[in-house]
Amino acid sequence: MGRPKGAQEVPAATRAALAALVKAGLTNRRLADALAVPIGTVSTIAARVRRGESASPRRKQGRPRLLDARGVRHLQLMVFRSRRVTLEQLTAEYNAGMPQQVSQRTIGRYLHRMTMLNYAAVTKPFLTRLHVSRRLAWGRTHSPWSLADRRNVAFSDESSFTVRPARGEARVWRRSHGRYLPACLRPSFKSGRTTLSVWAAFSSKGGTPLARIVGRLNQHKYMGIIHEYLLPFDEQRHGGTSNFMLMEDNCGPHRAINVGKYMALHGLRCLD
């Protein structure tokens, strides 16, 4: 059984007695029982004595590490709790909770040893647990679809472009494979403050031209986009609405009652 965590080192007198008894031919088990030393410790020291080495503890090479195992675990927990803190804030928080004071450079070096680097956060739409569960259920429902079925689906969405973002990029501490972890994302939310908004749709047979949206999208503008861009695309590329299904999100203009009536009038089907 190995030496438990936190146990003291074997005293010099015990080491000397152990070395003498090893030379006298006693087994490791008898040595452990006689000296009340764990069998793993006895085996290590006895093997060195039998090789002709000293029973004294080996001198450690190099300068001791500034952060012990407890300090490394504490630092890792701090990063996992708040990935958006700066290196300066991490250093201040670490020094406030630990007896030994360290520099920013030391904290940065230990983060790199843990493969925790500072990356720009990926901006993704904010998803609640309900959103995630519904998307998963939708994917499982439509996974049996054949390739021919999928080719008749067109995907449409709006996108907004700004000349200058409202906020600077967010940075997070993460490992190289943790890019899309929920804690490492920068959630984005719907907002009317846009510089330029466009709409487009595409399928396996091509895509529509970009439709510029002036102002905020509403049901009347969306019906105009369907009439001017989506219906001609459907006729030219899919041969009519009978061979065509539209996949869109659940924003207000898409789910307006008048929009639904207009699409039903032209035989457009939406994929729920």
| Residues 228, 187: Cα–Cα separation, whole Å | 33
The yes-or-no verdict on residue 106 having pLDDT over 80 is yes
Query: Residue 229 — pLDDT band, cuts 50, 70, 90?
Result: very high
The yes-or-no verdict on residue 208 having pLDDT over 90 is yes
Tokens of 215: 């102002």
Task: Report the DSSP beta bridge partners of residue 211.
Answer: 199
| Residue that is written with structure tokens 């920068």 in the block | 186
The yes-or-no verdict on residue 84 having pLDDT over 70 is yes
Give the pLDDT confidence of 5-59 residue by residue, as tens digits. 434 578 888 888 888 888 888 889 988 888 888 888 888 888 988 888 888 887 7
| Residues 262, 253: Cα–Cα separation, whole Å | 12
| Residues 206, 198: Cα–Cα separation, whole Å | 17
The yes-or-no verdict on residue 191 having pLDDT over 60 is no
CATH class of 123-270: alpha beta
pTM over 0.75: no
The amino acid at residue 133 is S
Q: 3-state class of 124 per DSSP?
A: strand
Cα 160 to chain centroid, rounded: 25
Q: 3-state class of 130 per DSSP?
A: helix
In the chain, where the domains are located: 12-50, 69-114, 123-270
Q: 3-state class of 61 per DSSP?
A: coil
Q: Among 139-143, 187-191, 229-233, which stretch is predicted with the lowest mean pLDDT?
A: 187-191
**Cβ atoms of 116 and 93 closer than 8 Å:** no
Give the pLDDT confidence of 121-168 residue by residue, as tens digits. 887 778 888 988 988 998 899 899 999 888 889 999 988 776 555 556
Give the pLDDT score at 2. Answer: 43
| Residues 122, 186: Cα–Cα separation, whole Å | 6
**Cβ atoms of 205 and 238 closer than 8 Å:** yes
